[in-house]
Amino acid sequence: MAKDCLRMTKPVNYVKSLCSWHFEEKGLSLDSVLAEIEIRLGEYPALNDIQHLRDLIAEIRPKRPQDITRATDNLRALCFVLQNKPAWRKALRCYLVQVLTTRKLVHLFTDLGITQNIGFWSAARQRFFNKFLPPLVNDAYIKDVFGQLFHKKTDHIWINGVADQAWLDLLQAIGFRTPAPRTTYAALTCEILSAVQVLSYRVTNIGLEAELVRNYPDIEKFESPFLRQNDAINDYVICYSKWLADKSCEREDSKHIEVLLTQCEDITNRIRRTASLQGVSVSLTRLLLQLMQSIARLRQLLDILDSRSTEHAASIGITLFKELSIAENHNQSLRKLMQSNTELLSLQVTERAGKSGEHYVTNNRSEWLEMLRSALGAGFIVGFMALIKILFGTLALAPFGYAVLYSLNYSGGFMLVHVLHFTIATKQPAMTAALLARAIDGGKQKLDELAELIVKVLRSQFIAIIGNVGLAIPTAYGIAWAWVAITGKHLVSPEKAAHLLHDIDPFASLALPHAAIAGVCLFLSGLISGYYDNKASYANIPERLRQLGWLQRLLGEARLLRVTTYIGNNLGALAGNFFFGIMLGTIGQLGSFFGLPIDIRHITFASANFAFALVGLDNVMSWQVAAYSLFGIMCIGMVNLGVSFSLAMLVALRSRRVSFGQGGLLTVLLWARFKESPRDYFFPARDVKTEIENEVETEKKE
């Protein structure tokens, strides 16, 4: 449509109609704005007020930021007007030059889009208060002017949506190829050179930070590229400044600087890999992020300075302009701050959870049977935990007292389960989801291999649930009858038994929403486990404990070594179980305190409560009620596992910035696998290797 209109005999009418989308609200047009600029420049040669530029951008900005076509047409209309109005074209070019040359340009390149050298909490607090009291705008800085020109938080959408060629056409229409006055070119170039120096000093400063040296001590052993790049850039700036003053001087390129920047990036990547083993902190994350952003910006500015053609420089400038627009619109976003500062930390937390998830996946029959044994042990302990909880419930306490006792029961029991190397089935999804995300990341595994991993995860999850529930119910049943034999009365009254059965009713009660809350707690406990595993490595907790003199005297060197090694390897799991128990023990009491219908339902405890209710009713229960209760228990378990797995998978994928677009194919493959061999989803194939080894051993004995 635009091309057809431009072929009309009176294209100016097309331009006016195209731009009339904004006329009604402001009474402005591209014609009037450009004419006003021409008049003002004639009256005031030193005009540098940005209001006219804001009006011009308002005419280009589409009503809906997603309307990229309209934004592109607006730019084409402006190009057409400038090409047919040489006086307006010259006036706009002079006006833009005055706006740029009368303000400091350095901070736009060195600050916008680069993480600032302040802590996370300080930055979050600053952005929070800026929501209510915006920061002071300094008109002497292009950085602040840029924010005034593109003040809408959605401007980056249409700016980045418009093709680079459209922006190049606009620069050409303004007169970008027209040779600028020497003083103007030198002033703008000097600002870029100053920005290059500032970024170089920043890279050097970060490269010498103690936290980076701690993770990569070789920085101190060899000649640091962080120092060498600064020397090279200072020489480059001096040489370039001489060339600006005297074109007869030789102009050097920045290829040797690129080599040094690449070496700086290599060290940064090594520090990232070291952090995956030694742990990472938010401050280290911020330093690495700031370092990579500064290096990337340095490269862009050096490419502009080294450009031998205006087209290449303009192309790089447009890419930089689009990046700056995104950074400006997200400059005060709390969500983006949290995302950028915690990305590497969350990656390492989920990475450690993924490594733990390897222990929850069985690959053969022997491991599958070991998982069953481990789950049976956990079910046995949970039976006694359910007994203790019911006994605590008979006490006359305030909600806080119940919360403390319930939390101690849950936390102590779950930590005992871990110490005895048993398995709680609902703990698996938070770990295995991170393992699957690691497999999906970057397409490291083929689709059939990923399907095989999922089958193993489902099979392991199934046997763990069977083990937990399969022994929790008979254990609780035996405990309840033992209680009757010892005390002469039931552990739970018929009224309490009816209440326990109602709590696991999937439709007549809030059992499923409460199971979802428990799933969230399971997910959070997985993150806590990963966090404390990371903390144990990063803070060198085992090594620091060994330095305590009183602990050495108390335990002795050999026992201290075993204890501290165990803490280093299991701190995350212990902390995760401890806080999981606190969450389960306090949520219900918080609901009672605030009058909210919130509580938790956990499949293993629901199974034990069913057994207690059965004994409390003297086994007088119809098969329909029993089947319905078991169905409710199964639903609670599905919600526990589904919520925990979904949240853990989402965080793991987001922390890696990956998405999985083959879900449909994977689903078809899994269904085909199920139809072909449904047994594989529940039972592993016979361990062929073990049979062969047994035959060899038998032959040796004979």
562 is a domain residue = no
Residue numbers of the domain that contains 397: 347-517+580-695
Most confident of 128-132, 453-457, 481-485, 677-681: 481-485
Shared-domain flag, residues 33 and 96: yes
- Quick check: 12 pLDDT over 60? no
CB neighbour class for 21 (10 Å; exposed up to 12, middle 13-18, buried from 19): middle
If you average pLDDT over residues 597-614, what whole number do you get? 94
For every residue of 538-570, DSSP letters joined together read HTTHHHHHHT-HHHHHHH-HHHHHHHHHHHHHH
- Cα separation, 544 vs 167, in Å, equals 58
- Quick check: 77 pLDDT over 70? yes
Residue with tokens 């070594």: 561
Query: CB-based contacts of 24: which residues, under 8 Å, 6+ apart?
Result: none
- Look at residues 208, 170, 175 and name the one whose alpha carbon lies nearest to residue 60: 170
- Quick check: 638 pLDDT over 60? yes
In this predicted structure, which of 33-37, 301-305, 566-570 has the lowest mean pLDDT? 33-37
269 is a domain residue = yes
Find residue 104's DSSP bridge partners. 141
126-171 pLDDT tens trace = 878 887 888 888 888 999 889 888 988 889 999 999 999 999 998 8
Q: Regarding predicted confidence, which is higher, 354 or 308?
A: 308
393 phi and psi, to 5 degrees?
-65, -20
Q: What is the pLDDT of residue 11?
A: 34
Q: What is the pLDDT of residue 25?
A: 38
Q: What is the pLDDT of residue 474?
A: 95
- Cα separation, 308 vs 206, in Å, equals 32
In this predicted structure, which of 204-213, 245-254, 657-666 has the lowest mean pLDDT? 657-666
Shared-domain flag, residues 68 and 130: no
Find residue 495's DSSP bridge partners. none
- Cα separation, 656 vs 660, in Å, equals 12
Shared-domain flag, residues 117 and 213: yes
Shared-domain flag, residues 609 and 503: yes
If you average pLDDT over residues 514-521, what whole number do you get? 94
The answer to whether the beta carbons of residues 71 and 162 sit under 8 Å apart is: yes
- Quick check: 379 pLDDT over 90? yes
Q: What is the pLDDT of residue 321?
A: 92
- Quick check: 186 pLDDT over 70? yes
Average pLDDT, the chain: 82
Token pair listed for 338: 């949290």
Q: What is the pLDDT of residue 469?
A: 93
Angle at 385 between CA 381 and CA 391, to 5 degrees: 150
339 is a domain residue = no
For the CA atoms of 530, 534, 539, 545, what is the dihedral angle to 10 degrees? 60
In the chain, the amino acid numbered 373 is R
Helix axes of 399-419 and 365-393: crossing angle, nearest 10 degrees: 160
68 is a domain residue = yes
Strand runs (DSSP E) across 452-573, as ranges? Answer: none
Q: What is the pLDDT of residue 387?
A: 95
- Cα separation, 191 vs 178, in Å, equals 20
Shared-domain flag, residues 272 and 123: yes
Q: What is the pLDDT of residue 19?
A: 41
Q: Regarding predicted confidence, which is higher, 235 or 432?
A: 235
**Count of domains for the chain:** 3
Longest dimension (CA), the chain: 112
220 is a domain residue = yes
574 is a domain residue = no
The answer to whether the beta carbons of residues 99 and 48 sit under 8 Å apart is: yes
If you average pLDDT over residues 418-444, what whole number do you get? 71
- Cα separation, 13 vs 651, in Å, equals 54
- Which of 332, 364, 385 corresponds to the end of one domain? 332
- H or E segment at 663? helix 663-676
- H or E segment at 122? helix 120-132
Shared-domain flag, residues 466 and 608: yes
The phi-psi region of residue 659 (left if phi > 0; otherwise alpha if psi is between -120 and 50; otherwise beta) is beta
Shared-domain flag, residues 174 and 71: yes
If you average pLDDT over residues 97-109, what whole number do you get? 88
Q: Regarding predicted confidence, which is higher, 224 or 379?
A: 379
pLDDT band at 700 (very low <50, low <70, confident <90, very high): very low
- Quick check: 515 pLDDT over 90? yes
- Which of 178, 194, 229 corresponds to the end of one domain? 178
Q: What is the pLDDT of residue 208?
A: 85
C-beta atoms surrounding 656 within 10 Å: 19
Shared-domain flag, residues 97 and 108: no
- Quick check: 687 pLDDT over 80? no
573 is a domain residue = no
526-549 pLDDT tens trace = 888 878 887 888 888 898 999 988
Shared-domain flag, residues 45 and 92: yes
Percent of the chain at pLDDT > 90 equals 38
Shared-domain flag, residues 381 and 293: no
For every residue of 339-401, DSSP letters joined together read HHHHHHHHHHHHHHHHHHHGGG---SHHHHHHHHHHHHHHHHHHHHHHHHHHHHHTS---HHH
Shared-domain flag, residues 184 and 172: no
In this predicted structure, which of 71-85, 252-266, 420-434, 566-580 has the lowest mean pLDDT? 420-434
CA distances from 494 to 178, 189, 470, 506, 613 (A): 93, 86, 24, 20, 8
Shared-domain flag, residues 196 and 130: yes
Distance from CA of residue 74 to its chain's centroid? 37
357 is a domain residue = yes
In this predicted structure, which of 177-181, 263-267, 542-546 has the lowest mean pLDDT? 177-181
Q: What is the pLDDT of residue 179?
A: 53
- Cα separation, 106 vs 142, in Å, equals 8
- Which of 332, 363, 395 corresponds to the end of one domain? 332
If you average pLDDT over residues 284-295, what whole number do you get? 87
- Cα separation, 514 vs 601, in Å, equals 5
- Quick check: 351 pLDDT over 60? no
The phi-psi region of residue 424 (left if phi > 0; otherwise alpha if psi is between -120 and 50; otherwise beta) is beta
> Under DSSP, is residue 141 helix (H, G, I), strand (E, B) or coil?
strand
- Cα separation, 53 vs 668, in Å, equals 56
Q: What is the pLDDT of residue 422?
A: 92
Q: What is the pLDDT of residue 532?
A: 86
The structure's pTM equals 0.73
pLDDT band at 662 (very low <50, low <70, confident <90, very high): low
